[in-house]
Amino acid sequence: MLDSSPWLRLLSARRYPDRPAEAAQPGRSPYLADYDRVVFSSAFRRLQRKTQVMPLPETDFVHTRLTHSLETACVGRSLGRLSARRLLEQQPELSQTLPEFDQDCGDIVAAACLAHDIGNPPFGHSGEDAISAYFGSREAERFITNLTDAERADLLHFEGNAAGFRILTHTYAAHNTGSAGLGLTYATLGAFTKYPRPSIVESAAKTGGASEKKYGHFQTENARFKLVAEELGLRGKDAPAGYYHRHPLAFLVEAADDLCYRIIDFEDGLKLGLIDEQRGLGLLRNMLGDSAERPRSLRWHDWREELGYLRARLIGKLVDETATLFAQHAPTMLSGRYDAPLIKEISCYPDLQEVQHLSIEKLYRSRPVLEIEAAGFEVLGGLLDAFLGAIFDRQQNHRSRKLLDLLPPQYRAIGPQAGAPAYEQILLLTDYVAGMTDQNALSLYKIIKGIELPKGF
């Protein structure tokens, strides 16, 4: 039997950091407003020019970070609503205290899914590695040597999830608008945070759970996440302060992302000819598990048509299975005793693993992907090194002053941000570099290195 009181707190419609819950409007929940706020943010818009896996090609079917985020949000909305309905079947009295429970869960998961990649840097999956590698290099040692161990850990293991939480909650003092970040509800911020812990925790406190794979906020956001956790009533782990169990809906955000990137990246690999279509289609058919007697009234003009059909049916099947699993595990999620990816329990998980292995071998390690990821190490590292050199140049020579003038004021320690500690100055610059699109980062790198002159307006 589920107690409705935890859900009342977990679905908090109060807006971060201190705004009360808004009065409900017919057909527009506060969580649907969260979705809209993400859509209209500049950080989300820049995802259209950030690589998902393949370098941004001329073909129009390959996914960018933007299209991946939109598709994940669609799957997340279905997962959230269906999972909530399964919970209501077990405990119908939930609807007495939460009359829009299924719709609200769908809207929260959709908004969190939409934002799940908002902090990821350019140049595909290796963008985080490129930033981490720079801060682990000899060149960066002079900038981070006096930081605390926790601050260094943030930079040496740069995490897009933490950068995303910062984007959603941080307002740059140079552009203070009177709100904090995007002003999302606490419920959406909780569901967004798949890894509710800082970058450093005692090894003895780790249990190997899904929420411990990465970290979810930088040191600058420790107090912010604590505020979110306390508002939502998240249970603290038997570990140092700031180490919490997940919001239950974060498991659905994780599942939506897992399903989309595995299946849809695989679809891209098939369409690009990197994965054999017969082997790929066979795997998808196996995962559907259709019986030999199932009537087949559809005829395909091209194998790509069947691919789209199989992908759509497969995602529908996996959403249904995952929702059932969520309802089964909801009591242990609420008590903090469940911490595993839901997709590991779906019936076709071995086939889904084979799909991922094929994608790694044929798609993620293909030459175009390796080339853009290698470029990312040079470009991101080069930008960080040049601008950090200018920021911490005590003599402020001519080159340093020119570079600093290229930085937007909200990413500099000037005005209301003057006197920011070294760690925060580094993080401000990292916000700027990680927020760039692939092309923007490449163009700026070429310009400051003198490889290319800027084009006219």
What is the per-residue pLDDT for 295? 63
**10 contacts 190 by C-beta, under 8 angstroms:** yes
The pLDDT of residue 53: 73
Residue 355 has pLDDT above 70, yes or no: yes
Confidence of residue 448 (pLDDT cuts 50, 70, 90): very high
Q: What is the mean pLDDT of residues 431-444?
A: 95
User: Looking up tokens 């092309």, which residue turns up?
Assistant: 439
Question: Taking the chain, what is the end-to-end CA distance rounded to the nearest angstrom?
Answer: 64
Provide mean pLDDT across the span 4-18. Answer: 90
DSSP state string for 10-50: HT--PBTTTBPPPPPBTTB-HHHHHHHHHHTSHHHHGGGGS
Helix, strand or coil, per DSSP, at residue 236: strand
pLDDT of res. 178: 45
Strand, coil or helix: what is 115?
coil
| pLDDT of 60 higher than 60 | no
Q: Which amino acid is at 448?
A: I
pLDDT the model gives residue 364: 87
* Inter-residue contact 416 to 174 (CB < 8 Å): yes
The tens digit of pLDDT for each residue in 314-346 reads: 999 999 999 999 999 999 999 999 999 999 999
Average pLDDT, the chain: 90
The structural domains of the chain, with segments of one domain joined by +, span 4-248, 260-360, 368-448
What is the rounded CA–CA span in Å between residue 104 and residue 450? 52
The token pair that represents 310 in the structure block: 């199989």
- The gap from C-alpha 252 to its chain's centroid, in whole angstroms, comes to 13
Among residues of the chain, what percentage have pLDDT more than 90? 75
Angstrom distance (rounded) from CA 26 to CA 20: 18
CATH architecture assigned to 4-248: Orthogonal Bundle (1.10)
Cα angle 243, 330, 70 (rounded to 5 degrees) comes to: 80
Q: At residue 436, does pLDDT exceed 90?
A: yes
Is CATH 3.40.50.150 what the domain over 260-360 is classified as, yes or no? no
* Higher pLDDT pick, 172 / 122: 122
Assign 3-class secondary structure to 360-429: HHHHHCCHHHHHHHHHHHHHHHHHHHHHHHHHCCCCCCHHHHHHHHHCCHHHCCCHHHCCCCHHHHHHHH
Q: What pLDDT sits at residue 149? A: 95
pLDDT classification of 57: cutoffs 50, 70, 90: low
- Predicted pLDDT at 75: 98
The pLDDT of residue 290 is 78
Rounded to two decimals, the pTM is 0.94
Name residue, tokens 């017969």: 278
- What is the dihedral angle through the alpha carbons of 145, 163, 105, 179, rounded to the nearest 10 degrees? 100
Predicted local distance difference test score (pLDDT) of residue 206: 66
- pLDDT for residue 79 is more than 90: yes
In this predicted structure, what is the pLDDT of residue 345?
97
> How does 25-58 read in b/e, with b if 16+ C-beta sit within 10 Å?
eeeebbbbbbbebbeebebbebbebbbbbbebee
pLDDT at 51 over 70: yes
Residue 64 confidence (pLDDT) above 90: no
> What was the pLDDT predicted at 1?
43
CA 234 – CA 226 distance, rounded (Å): 9
Distances in whole angstroms, Cα of residue 345 to Cα of each of 219, 291, 319, 339, 400 = 34, 22, 12, 12, 54
At 143 the pLDDT is: 96
pLDDT band at 177, cuts 50/70/90?
very low
Give 207's pLDDT tier (boundaries 50, 70, 90).
confident
Same fold for the domain at 4-248 and the one at 260-360?
A: no
Tens-place pLDDT, residues 368-417 = 888 888 999 999 999 999 999 999 998 889 999 999 999 999 999 988 88
20-29, 70-79, 315-324, 393-402: which range is least confident on average? 20-29
Of 221, 249, 109, the residue nearest 165 (C-alpha)? 221
Answer whether 143's CB lies under 8 Å from 388's CB. Answer: yes
pLDDT of residue 6: 93
Whose structure tokens read 């995962």? Answer: 287
Q: What is the rounded distance in angstroms from the CA atom of residue 188 to the CA atom of residue 10?
A: 9
